[in-house]
Amino acid sequence: MCLAVPSKIVSIDSMLMATVDVMGISRTCSLRLVPQARVGDYVLVHAGFAIQLIEEQEAAETLALFHELPGLFEDELGEDLTAEAEQRTA
Amino acid sequence: MQLSDFRDPELTKELLETLRKLCGDRTMNLMEVCGTHTVSIGRYGLRKAVPEGVKLLSGPGCPVCVTSNHDIDTAIAMARVPNVTVATFGDMVRVPGSSTTLGAQRAHGADIRVVYSPLDALEIARKEPQHNVVFIGVGFETTMPVVGASIQMAAEEGLQNYFVLSAHKRTAPALEVIANDPQTRIDGFILPGHVSTITGVEPYRFLAETYGIGGVVTGFEPVDILNGITRLAAMVVQQKPAIENAYSRGVNNNGNLTALATIKDVFEPCDAQWRGLGVIPLSGMRIAEKYRAFDALEAFEPDVEPVRETKGCRCGDVLRGRIAPDACPLFGRACNPENPVGPCMVSSEGSCAAYYRYRDTPL
């Protein structure tokens, strides 16, 4: 129910209604809750409203964090797994 | 953005291995409190893939499921008011109230329309001025600003035939009830993704500070969820409970300030009855004085039947994490997705429906 779908803004009208592209399908949504959004931005859309801008950069950072995980918990995992992780990122 | 990276089987295996080494033979109870997480965990077979000691419990994460019989009865009563058109999200239609469902009322001639957005309900009100349109506002913080915005728009346009039945619920007060429940020991919460998009992480701080329970805001792909679980496990092992955001691509730590301002403008906290959790002080949101003209309860005072609870249904215990869905005597027998007895089997995001659909899913 709280699902929000990533969508790309194609155009915006004067009433803050946007045409968005959702995996190739064209839909409309309101930008009232994300008024700073611009054409070309990606937004999360929930029940007809954009609720969040999404940054492509952030996705990349999240992934990088996953790779660092073993290193974060060195105390519990011992050095071997940490070394493995370093090898992978090297 | 490559969503497929978050489904990478290698990364998934890696995280499971990390989790296994981290947990050893420890046991811990982790609870997800978002219906979309419940579905993802089922779909990717994660409940069985995690180490044996890590128990993944489903909490009150499905808005339809936690809606009380009284609120469902009230929505049904609205549909019986002459000249009222009820507009609702689809998963409310089949949920049984005390004696009937919205769907059954529709079959008897009530004007009940399934909409994808409150914007659709607004459009019905604009095009059909002869009807009073009542939108059934059910949902957590993700949905509140969306419904709130529709009320602001109706006010700006001077629409006089658009109303909302507000049965919205706040997430944090329910987590506090569960943290206080002597029958359930929770060691960490997998915190909701899109609720947190609106609220940010602040509302959860009390879990770590007052109750010593960690929480991680988590995305919805298998890698996201395993990452959240691993971080929680690390907190348990290190005895350092904290509130973290592991879904920064969808959640700012401060939330969506425009959406929060919309909620504050349109709604005010009130006590609310939850299925399974009872009345929780200030956990509901009613329409504030300024927008009272749009409050369906004020406008129509519908005749609501006395509440009757369904015999044998243990949705309440499921929602508290006291029992797994398949421990309910009705599960898969009297109660299944075709003939649901309780709301947790009706909504596709309900714990029982997700357990039923994915009961044989391997990783």
Mean pLDDT of chain B: 93
% of residues, chain B, pLDDT over 90: 80
**Cβ within 8 Å, pair A52-B36:** no
Which residues does chain A have within 8 Å of residue B35's beta carbon, measured at their own beta carbons? 1-2
Predicted confidence (pLDDT) at residue A78 exceeds the cutoff of 70: no
Mean pLDDT of chain A: 73
Q: Which residue has the higher pLDDT, A49 or A86?
A: A49
Kindly report, residue by residue over B227-269, the tens digit of the pLDDT.
999 999 999 999 999 999 999 888 999 999 999 999 999 999 9
Q: Quote the pLDDT of residue B8.
A: 79
How is residue B235 annotated by DSSP?
H
Q: pLDDT confidence of A67, banded at 50, 70, 90?
A: low
Q: Quote the pLDDT of residue A75.
A: 40
Euclidean distance between CA atoms B49 and B29, whole angstroms: 15
Side chain identity at B176, as an amino acid letter?
A: E
Structural domains for chain A: 5-54 (2.30.30.140), 57-89 (no CATH)
How far does the CA of residue B296 sit from the closest CA of chain A (Å)?
Answer: 20
To probe the interface with A, which of B5, B117, B249 has the most A CB atoms within 10 Å? B249
Q: Quote the pLDDT of residue B2.
A: 59
Predicted ipTM? 0.91
Structure-block tokens of residue B313: 């249904």
Q: Residue B234: which of A48, A49, A76 has the nearest Cβ?
A: A76
Q: Quote the pLDDT of residue A61.
A: 56
Under 8 Å CB pairs connecting chains A and B tally to 138
Q: Quote the pLDDT of residue B5.
A: 74
B residues 269-328 lying closer than 8 A (beta carbon) to A: none
User: What's the helix, strand, coil split of chain A in %, to 5?
Assistant: 35, 35, 30
Which residue do the tokens 């990533």 mark? A6
How far from B131 is each of A51, B75, B102, B121, B161, CA to CA, in Å? 30, 17, 18, 11, 7
Q: Give the number of C-alpha atoms closer than 13 A to the C-alpha of residue B122, restricted to the C-beta side.
A: 21
Predicted confidence (pLDDT) at residue A71 exceeds the cutoff of 80: no
Euclidean distance between CA atoms B150 and B165, whole angstroms: 13
Mean pLDDT on B288-315: 93
Mean pLDDT on B51-76: 94
Which residues does chain B have within 8 Å of residue A59's beta carbon, measured at their own beta carbons? 1-2, 249
**Cβ within 8 Å, pair B234-A72:** yes
Q: Quote the pLDDT of residue A8.
A: 87
Q: Quote the pLDDT of residue B121.
A: 98
The third-level CATH classification (topology) of the domain covering B1-295+310-357 is Rossmann fold (3.40.50)
A residues 22-81 lying closer than 8 A (beta carbon) to B: 30, 32-35, 42, 44, 46-49, 51-52, 54-56, 58-63, 65-66, 69-70, 72-73, 75-78, 81
Predicted confidence (pLDDT) at residue B42 exceeds the cutoff of 70: yes
How is residue B289 annotated by DSSP?
G
Structure-block tokens of residue B289: 């004085």
Report the chain A residue with the minimal C-alpha distance to residue B3.
A59
B residues 15-34 lying closer than 8 A (beta carbon) to A: 15, 18, 21-22, 34
Side chain identity at B188, as an amino acid letter?
A: G
Predicted confidence (pLDDT) at residue A84 exceeds the cutoff of 50: no
Q: How far is Cα of residue A10 from the mean position of the Cα atoms in its chain? A: 18
Kindly report, residue by residue over B314-340, the tens digit of the pLDDT.
999 999 999 999 999 999 999 999 888
Mean pLDDT on B121-149: 97
Euclidean distance between CA atoms B9 and B217, whole angstroms: 22
The continuous run of DSSP H or E covering B214 comes out as strand B214-217
% of residues, chain B, pLDDT over 70: 98
How is residue B335 annotated by DSSP?
B
Q: Quote the pLDDT of residue B41.
A: 92
Domains of chain B, by residue range, sit at: 1-295+310-357
| Of B57-71, B255-269, B347-361, minimum mean pLDDT range | B347-361
| Of B182-191, B326-335, B339-348, minimum mean pLDDT range | B339-348
**Cβ within 8 Å, pair A34-B18:** no
